[in-house]
Structure 1
Amino acid sequence: MNDDLLNHLRDAQDRHEHEPHSVPVIREICRMLVALQREDAVLPWTEHGLALEPHDPEFAGLRTDALNLAGRHAEAATFLMQERSLPWLPAMFQIKLGYSLMMAGDLERAVALLDEARHIASASNPAVLTKATHLLGEALLKRGDGRGFRFWTMRNEDSGAGGSYRAIGIPVWSGEQDLRGKRVLITHQLGYGDQFLLAASLADFHAAGATLMLTCDQQIHALMQASLPDVSVIWTKRPLEMGGPLPEDIRAEVAAFAPDFQATLLFAPILANREGAPPYRFRPYMRPPAGKRQAAVEWSRQLRAQHPDKKLVGLFWDCEQRHHTEFGSTMRCWAARRSIPLDLIDQLVLDPAVAKQVQFVNLHHPLLESTAGVPAGDVARYSPGVFHFDDTAACIDQLDAVVSVDSGVANLAAFMGKSACVAVNTSGDWRWGSEGRSTPWIEGVTVLRQKTEGDWAPVVRDIAAWLMHASQG
């Protein structure tokens, strides 16, 4: 299928060489790039199209999306305001502008616009209502407002935001506060970091009297078992399609558990974030399996003997999804924008003042070194070996601190209660907050933020300063 689309794209690009002013050909190229999930490559074509057909709604919408993929959110918002008179579908202008403003950091205006979009779409367009509600929740969470969780759960229904299981015959949990004697199946979705974050809320279900079963990815199964000893943790594939039934490989275990309710992890924070509840924080709860910890203790003893008086600091800088062309442009671009270039990591590692105080430990999986690269200088590896996240956790458990971009590793370090410094891009995920050097959602994390999209150099200098301060402790 992709081969056919690629051939079609090449054919259209060849025709463009001979008909550079043909709007239909440019439109065809844009549509082929979208079909190939290469929306990040659409920008120059939309600009060419708009030069020939000013105020064209299709080119304007695609240009907005491409600017947001590139992290040029304020520019996207300005462009949308210039094109606000176009015949947008009801509520779509408010959604696009609200999203661009949210990602640019103008949360007050974003919340107002996304709420307006909800009201416009409520009467006639359920899909648009879902999108607006999901994004409104995200905007509220970015400004530290726990009311956003209930809106954010609409992500489950948003066709572009990932799937969730539907367990036939099990009632869906609808927010009941009294769960004494109830058995609740919590099914997973989203990425590793999301699972680490949201599973912190399972303590609230226990406090409400529930007995829990949790599904998770295989790569984190042993870690979640060790971290949640009061939960029955089983692994299965992550849902990719909306509303898929429970996988056959876990149906017998689920049936034996006999749940009274099912909820996805996305709903886990709702229990504690009810109206009038005090401000909520996700609290550390993760720990490595005892068997893995013993090997890690011996490893760290030897490494500290080789580097006396130095702090051991884990280092993670590259989000691997950015290297995979088979992933859609949204995932690839988001991963690329969260990653720090290797040459800047080299500057950090080779900084004489830092090197005098810190021994870095590479926290990337060994199989990913070919894409992440290997820093210059003396960066240790975890010699017992990293296979799954329980190994990474065992390593982190023995470190003094972790420096990471927004990733599963950053979340793991934070929820192990480790001193963590997280570097985020200009429009970082809501869990890292939106301003200052802390987040309202997670205790004990230092957040260092990009001021200019793509410019990591000041952030790396801030990391060096943070390390020098931390090494004095």
Structure 2
Amino acid sequence: MDDTSPVQAVIDAFTSGDPVTAIARGFAIEASYPDDPAVLNHLGAIHLQYSQPAHALRVLRRAFDLAPTSSVICVNLGLALEIDQQFGAAADAFGLAAAYKPDFVVAHFNRGRMCVRTERFQDATDAFAEVIVREPTNADAWNYWAGSMSLLNRLDEALSGYERALTINPGHLSTLRDHAIVAMRAGQPVRALPSLDRALAIDPSWANGQQHRGRAHTQSGRFADAETDFAVALTLDPGNRDALNGRAWLRHISGDRMGCLRDLEALVAEDPTNAEARAFLGLAYLREERFAEGWSAYESRWDVPANAGIFDGATRFRWDGSQDLTGRSILVMSEQGFGDTIQFCRYVPMLVNRGARVILAVQPPLQGLIAGMPWAHHLVTDNAPVPDTDFFCPMLSLPQAFGTEPGTIPSPGRYLETSPEKRASWRHRLAIPDHSPLPSQTEPRAGGWGSLPLPTGNTNPLVGISWRGNPGNRGDAQRSIPLTTFVEALPAGLRYVSLQKDTTEDERAHLAAWGILDVAEALDDFASTGALCDVLDLIITVDTSIAHLAGALARPVWILLCRIPDWRWFVDRTDSPWYPTARLYRQATAGDWAPVIATVRRDIASFATRS
């Protein structure tokens, strides 16, 4: 409008610094033009411009009532509603504007923003897509679209959107930051690093960016660069918990055990409520055989949000080792993996010896194995309804309840048993004479694999092998060994059988080519696998449930460990107090299995000679 517009007098008063007069003149205009939507819309826009949202909202509501199909009025009303924090209503107003005028880019864009504010993320992506169709070089639209995709957890699409935005505006700091953070969420550190480098070149004081780059360098194996990044982050922000946590993990996987401990202790001191850090600290203590501190700190795992509600059905009392169990019932609940259950079920007979009636909840694949034990009178699956008992205790809390120290680890030798029928079936299938006695449960053996009796009825020892664990488990890539590498440890002259239940087509082809027996179809559960282990002369395995199974059966087992293995294997030991018949082979350098394979091959040759 020109200077003769009725609203000009309001503008003049605002520009001269007299808002009281401006507002009074606005009321006069409302009275003079009560049914003119154009004048009221202009007046509302001026109120918005000069930070008078309440007056703007009142006037624009009246304008909308008079002209509800005016896209301009709808957009201005949406802006007023946004300022009034009525985000859902604002989204609806912008949506009306877009519906009445489909090419009205501002309406689509603002609707998208309000949909984000109301967590209608799919609607937000649709709105920003409408902008992109009409303005494909609109960097802000690409940026918002990518952000909405990330909120929908569609991370690859989000990354593509941020990258489109950066081709249009390469130096946009917030886009570089968002792209890097989403790339890290997506587990793509290599994709994150260029954006982190560019963002930190623009703003070197971005402490959170420094710690993100530290994590990216850690995941990329650039440990020295990661150490520098975390140091810079902590210089900029000494209390940055993410940086402390990231550096603790870096030092853990790089073998700096004491540095890892210091960082975790500092992190817990900084934030005593950080359950994840405290549980991680517990594992670090356990690895160093500092059991009292370790078991205590590791109990914090139940305070981690991801574990919330696990014991909601367990209304009975938590057993901590101090309560009398005579004539009382206790539910022992498995947790984590199959190997953990196999390792820590050794404590169940100790509960029985205290007079308890134990209800043991274990994973279904372990039921057949454990059901045959004399102490497993009451067995349920871990996903069954929780039975009513006097007490309950998570399985990995039993060591603390019993006050376990390195010198008092219950090491009963053979504490699991397998079916004689299943063993006989395997002997028949593998043509093994039934001449070899099994270790006694009541007479545990010590001294490692070399002290165990070897079968006398077969001149060619039978060796079971397992080269990888569950690919879904964190750290499996470090623990597992490619089959083509693993077989380099296996000299000719012995018979080999695969203990892998889930062999791939490629692995099956290799096993056949190398003459290694693949019996995956017969490994129905751990009872079947355990019976097979019982008729073998030796088991060679990476750190997986097979290692625990062989150890619990007191079979000769050689366990090949990565550079930074699980806490339970401790530090630098070649033996295991958990499993007296185990021998440990450790990587000296992360990722380098060649020396381990060479040592195992040499020792197998010696083993074959003795047998």
SS in 2 for 1:226: coil
* CA deviation after TM superposition for structure 1 residue 472, in Å: 3.2
Give the structure with the larger helix fraction.
2
* CA deviation after TM superposition for structure 1 residue 447, in Å: 1.3
Measured in 1, the distance between the counterparts of 2:160 and 2:558 equals 45
* CA deviation after TM superposition for structure 1 residue 231, in Å: 4.1
CA separation of 1:415 and 1:371: change in aligned 2, threshold 3 A: farther
CA separation of 1:75 and 1:452: change in aligned 2, threshold 3 A: farther
Q: What CA deviation, in whole Å up to 9, does each residue of 1:20-57 have, x standing for no partner?
A: 44443332223333444556864565455445543532
Measured in 1, the distance between the counterparts of 2:433 and 2:504 equals 21
Partner in structure 2 of residue 438 of structure 1: 575
Partner in structure 2 of residue 136 of structure 1: 281
Partner in structure 1 of residue 591 of structure 2: 454
Partner in structure 1 of residue 118 of structure 2: none
Matches within 5 A, 1:354-433: 354-356=491-493, 358-365=494-501, 367-370=502-505, 374-375=510-511, 376-382=513-519, 385-433=522-570
CA separation of 1:372 and 1:264: change in aligned 2, threshold 3 A: farther
Measured in 1, the distance between the counterparts of 2:310 and 2:556 equals 33
* CA deviation after TM superposition for structure 1 residue 70, in Å: 5.4
Partner in structure 1 of residue 14 of structure 2: none
Partner in structure 1 of residue 395 of structure 2: 265
CA separation of 1:314 and 1:56: change in aligned 2, threshold 3 A: farther
Partner in structure 1 of residue 157 of structure 2: 7
Larger Rg: 2
CA separation of 1:466 and 1:224: change in aligned 2, threshold 3 A: same
Partner in structure 1 of residue 83 of structure 2: none
SS in 2 for 1:446: strand
CA separation of 1:169 and 1:281: change in aligned 2, threshold 3 A: closer
Measured in 2, the distance between the counterparts of 1:59 and 1:346 equals 44
How many residue pairs get matched? 435
- Measured on the aligned residues, the alpha-carbon RMSD in Å equals 3.2
Equivalent position amino acid for 2:484 in 1: D
1:295 paired with 2:425, answer: yes
Match of 1:250 among 381, 385, 392: 385
* CA deviation after TM superposition for structure 1 residue 163, in Å: 7.4
Measured in 2, the distance between the counterparts of 1:133 and 1:3 equals 29
Match of 1:205 among 351, 355, 358: 351
CA separation of 1:76 and 1:439: change in aligned 2, threshold 3 A: farther
Partner in structure 1 of residue 27 of structure 2: none
Measured in 1, the distance between the counterparts of 2:582 and 2:462 equals 17
CA separation of 1:121 and 1:418: change in aligned 2, threshold 3 A: same
Measured in 1, the distance between the counterparts of 2:595 and 2:521 equals 35
CA separation of 1:387 and 1:418: change in aligned 2, threshold 3 A: same
Maintained 8 Å contact 1:438/1:447: yes
Maintained 8 Å contact 2:332/2:360: yes
Match of 1:280 among 396, 404, 409: 409
* CA deviation after TM superposition for structure 1 residue 263, in Å: 1.3
* CA deviation after TM superposition for structure 1 residue 404, in Å: 0.9
Measured in 2, the distance between the counterparts of 1:39 and 1:208 equals 52
Query: What are structure 1's unaligned runs of at least 5 residues?
Result: 238-248, 323-330
Maintained 8 Å contact 2:411/2:577: no
Equivalent position amino acid for 2:498 in 1: N
Match of 1:312 among 462, 471, 478: 462
Deviates more, 1:417-426 or 1:99-108: 99-108
Equivalent position amino acid for 2:428 in 1: E
TM-score by length of 1: 0.81
CA separation of 1:151 and 1:387: change in aligned 2, threshold 3 A: same
1:347 paired with 2:492, answer: no
Q: What CA deviation, in whole Å up to 9, does each residue of 1:383-403 have, x standing for no partner?
A: 871122211111111111111
Q: What CA deviation, in whole Å up to 9, does each residue of 1:397-426 have, x standing for no partner?
A: 111111111111111112111111111111
Measured in 2, the distance between the counterparts of 1:181 and 1:277 equals 30
Measured in 1, the distance between the counterparts of 2:190 and 2:335 equals 25
1:337 paired with 2:478, answer: yes
* CA deviation after TM superposition for structure 1 residue 138, in Å: 0.5
Measured in 1, the distance between the counterparts of 2:327 and 2:536 equals 40
Deviates more, 1:62-71 or 1:170-179: 62-71
SS in 2 for 1:361: strand
* CA deviation after TM superposition for structure 1 residue 316, in Å: 0.8
Matches within 5 A, 1:26-45: 26-36=176-186, 42=192, 45=195
Identity among equivalent pairs (%):
21
